[in-house]
Chain A
Amino acid sequence: MMRPAFAILAFLAVIATGFWAYRENYQTQDALRDLRDLQSEIAALRESLSVQRAEWAYLNRPDRLRELADLNFDRLGLMPMDSSQFGHIADVSYPALAPLTPNLTDAVSVSGTEEGGDL
């Protein structure tokens, strides 16, 4: 009575674990493949990052910036730094304070008849 039921259950368990092991195996291989792709992508990005850093430094070299500042002088008006450009914080002109007139746009109407009758 018990024996065939146990055999069927064991058989099902073998099938289930086999299926699980199969899936795990392929998922692991997928993950490893993803990892490999990502790593080579990281390496490629690192390389292009270093190229871009070099290019950034090349485009920002002082000679070129100076030439560009000279070429675009009428638009930018950039001059070499000068000692007269140092100022005191007191020299900074702050924007004028808003006048102290009350704002009447949202005024609440309080007018009434002189007699104080109904509005």
Chain B
Amino acid sequence: MIRTPLRPLAQILHARAHGENPDSIQRENARLRNEAARDRARSRAEFRLLLLGVCFAMAFATIGARMGMLSSSVPAEPQSAASGAEVVAGRAEIVDRNGRLLATNMTTNALYAHPKIMVDPGRVASELAKIFPELDAADLARRFTDGRSFVWIRRVLSPEQLQQVHDIGDPGLLFGPREMRLYPNGRLAAHVLGGSGFGAEGVASAELIGTAGVEKALNARLSDPAQASTPLTLSLDLTIQATMAEVLGAGMAMMNAKGAAGIVMDVDTGEVLAMVSLPDFDPNDRPNPLVKGDAADSPLFNRSVQGVYELGSTFKIFATAQAMELGLVNADTLVDANAPMRWGKHLIKEFKDKNYGPLLSVRDVIVKSSNVGTAHIALMIGPERQKAFLKSLGFFEPTKVELVEAPGARPLIPPKWPEIVTITTSYGHGMSASLLHLAAAYGAIANGGVMLTPTLLKHDGPVTGTRVMRQEVAAASLSMLRGVVTEGTASLGDVPGYEVAGKTGTADKPKRTGGYYNDKVINTFASVFPASDPKYVVMVMLDEPVETSGSEPRRTAGWTSVPVAAEVIRRIAPILGLRPTVEPIPLDGLTAVSN
């Protein structure tokens, strides 16, 4: 570009020739130049503003168009996405330790009606009453015709019933899909599983919630959608559970008992392999709780966890174990066992007013089940230490097992602890605990002195517990328990090859009005096997049993619970894969023959 000079020589000369001021030419030219520059700058700024405006307009138009498309389009699942392992079931299944199904879900239908679009309400009502006997035709007809527009008829339908309702063919009858909880094993493990029902209900779906047992205690885990595809694995073994239930049922009938309970627990992990309470119920059709009377008479009552009973002589081993732990006695120490023993206004007697005294070794106190001997040992220990030891064995707290009923089953502890309570507690009277408490405490003796928390969930790997007694004390206690079976009150409990060790307990049932019944007892047999290397504890309890094969009725645990427990062990030990051991011949075999 040729730059126009501010003072063009031709014009200057011309101006000078005419006597004009040449500076005005320069100013004029400078003004023109400035104006041109200003015009250029303005047009550039205008262009930039326009560009920016267009950009903004495009951005807003894009966002606006996208929002409009999103709001006007129909929501659809991404069609081409690969289907993962999404869950059909809304609630996790429950399986036993070997993966056998205990609880699962089934899809079924609920039946409801829209009476406003019903063609012939009267006929529908009578047809429905034919299909479902529990429905009343007149009542249904009234509900169909009183002007309401929605009626629930049934919560679940079987496929056959569904077809029958279809065959009625009325447009006012409608079906809503439902998930139903199914317990394929029926009554087996009913008390552990509990049961389930519907929570919030709608036409399209209903929420399944647990109503008792594991189903309720672990409801949050079972209904968690993130874990719905992983089944909940219980520690129960279905085969052991079935065997226990069968033997216990037969034993209950044979011993004329009102109820029975049994527990099998692994002593090294605290896992409960079987937990039976009889009479039982079908969790698929859970009965209603009793509205009056004793809750313990309902089949819903779990005798092994909810029932707290005075557990009788099974407690004696805790007194002797503690005395040995404290170094007060050893297995051969002689203690005073001269019966009857007078303590204040109380008289402590032996079974059938026998006298095992005047002196008895600690081992024989257990083997012969001497109340007086145990009382003297307990007095050596004293109330405070006895309380502390029983507390460490878990007898002062409800069990922590994964059942919704467990926290409610609080052991009954005497409010004060004078010496007479020390004496009665030492042989299992005056304080009440559940069978599961006893199983856990015997587990501690069996596994070498470590108290474990009983659990219904399978767990892998080692578990930790708190040590409550020395290993030697546990071993000495175990050998005393073995003595109870080989030469003491539980002689019917011997199972060849499986070295059963255990302790019987016979406790009179307390009356509601105070005092004790003469002819109603709770018989317990707390056993451990095999004694040389304990693996399992087996608890058997019979409620009000009486054995009538002899000339007079017998109500001691040695005649009722012990044979039942022996049969349980005989049956389950091979299933648990325990090889029978050849026991050493006792050293005093010769003298026994010579007698």
User: A54 at interface (Cβ–Cβ under 8 A)?
Assistant: yes
Shortest Cβ distance from B26 into chain A, in angstroms? 60
User: B496 at interface (Cβ–Cβ under 8 A)?
Assistant: yes
| Contact between chains at B105 and A81 (CB < 8 Å) | no
User: A82 at interface (Cβ–Cβ under 8 A)?
Assistant: yes
- For window 485-514 of B, CB contacts with A under 8 Å fall at 495-498
| Contact between chains at B573 and A62 (CB < 8 Å) | no
Residues of A within 8 A of B106 (CB): 50-51, 54
- For window 220-251 of B, CB contacts with A under 8 Å fall at 238-239, 242-243, 246
Complex alpha-carbon distance, A43 and B83, angstroms: 10
User: A23-40 interface mask toward B, CB cutoff 8 Å, 1 = contact, 0 = none?
Assistant: 000000000100110010
| Contact between chains at A47 and B83 (CB < 8 Å) | no
User: A102 at interface (Cβ–Cβ under 8 A)?
Assistant: no
User: B571 at interface (Cβ–Cβ under 8 A)?
Assistant: yes
The residue on B at minimum CB distance from A83 is: B580
Q: Which of B80, B105, B184, B573 contacts A83 (CB 8 A)?
A: B573
The residue on A at minimum CB distance from B88 is: A46
Shortest Cβ distance from A40 into chain B, in angstroms? 10
User: B579 at interface (Cβ–Cβ under 8 A)?
Assistant: yes
On whether A54 and B107 interact (CB within 8 A), knowing A63-B188, A82-B574, the answer reads: no
Q: Which of B101, B107, B571, B579 contacts A80 (CB 8 A)?
A: B571
| Contact between chains at B89 and A50 (CB < 8 Å) | yes
On whether A81 and B185 interact (CB within 8 A), knowing A32-B79, A86-B580, the answer reads: no
| Contact between chains at A53 and B574 (CB < 8 Å) | no
| Contact between chains at A32 and B80 (CB < 8 Å) | yes
- For window 270-287 of B, CB contacts with A under 8 Å fall at none
| Contact between chains at A50 and B105 (CB < 8 Å) | yes
Q: Which of A35, A55, A62 contacts B242 (CB 8 A)?
A: A62
Shortest Cβ distance from A51 into chain B, in angstroms? 6
Residues of B within 8 A of A85 (CB): 574
Residues of A within 8 A of B246 (CB): 66
| Contact between chains at B570 and A83 (CB < 8 Å) | yes
Complex alpha-carbon distance, A55 and B101, angstroms: 10
On whether A61 and B184 interact (CB within 8 A), knowing A53-B104, A54-B104, A66-B246, the answer reads: yes
User: B180-204 interface mask toward A, CB cutoff 8 Å, 1 = contact, 0 = none?
Assistant: 0010111110000000000000000
Residues of B within 8 A of A60 (CB): 100
Q: Which of A42, A50, A55, A61 contacts B83 (CB 8 A)?
A: A42
Q: Which of A39, A43, A57 contacts B184 (CB 8 A)?
A: A57
User: A58 at interface (Cβ–Cβ under 8 A)?
Assistant: yes
Shortest Cβ distance from B381 into chain A, in angstroms? 40
Residues of A within 8 A of B105 (CB): 50
Residues of B within 8 A of A35 (CB): 79-80
| Contact between chains at B574 and A61 (CB < 8 Å) | no
Residues of A within 8 A of B101 (CB): 53-54, 56-57
| Contact between chains at A54 and B184 (CB < 8 Å) | yes
The residue on A at minimum CB distance from B571 is: A80
User: B49 at interface (Cβ–Cβ under 8 A)?
Assistant: no
Residues of A within 8 A of B580 (CB): 83-84, 86
Residues of B within 8 A of A46 (CB): 88
The residue on B at minimum CB distance from A39 is: B83
Shortest Cβ distance from B262 into chain A, in angstroms? 15
Residues of B within 8 A of A53 (CB): 101, 104
The residue on A at minimum CB distance from B573 is: A83
| Contact between chains at A62 and B239 (CB < 8 Å) | yes
| Contact between chains at B186 and A63 (CB < 8 Å) | yes
The residue on A at minimum CB distance from B82 is: A35
User: B79-100 interface mask toward A, CB cutoff 8 Å, 1 = contact, 0 = none?
Assistant: 1100100001100000000001
| Contact between chains at B238 and A50 (CB < 8 Å) | no
| Contact between chains at A81 and B104 (CB < 8 Å) | no
User: B65 at interface (Cβ–Cβ under 8 A)?
Assistant: no
Q: List 24 A-B contacts (CB under 8 A).
A: A36-B79, A46-B88, A47-B107, A50-B105, A50-B106, A51-B107, A53-B104, A54-B106, A54-B184, A55-B184, A57-B104, A60-B100, A61-B185, A63-B186, A80-B571, A81-B574, A81-B575, A82-B574, A83-B495, A83-B570, A83-B580, A84-B580, A86-B574, A86-B580
Give the 4 A-B residue pairs with the shortest CB-CB distance, closest first.
A62-B242, A57-B101, A57-B184, A58-B184
Residue numbers of B with Cβ under 8 A of A are 79-80, 83, 88-89, 100-101, 104-107, 182, 184-188, 238-239, 242-243, 246, 495-498, 570-571, 573-575, 579-580
Contacts A53-B104, A66-B246, A83-B580 given; 11 further ones with Cβ under 8 A? A36-B79, A47-B88, A51-B106, A54-B104, A62-B185, A62-B188, A62-B242, A63-B185, A83-B495, A83-B497, A83-B573
Residue numbers of A with Cβ under 8 A of B are 32, 35-36, 39, 42-43, 46-47, 50-51, 53-58, 60-63, 66, 80-86
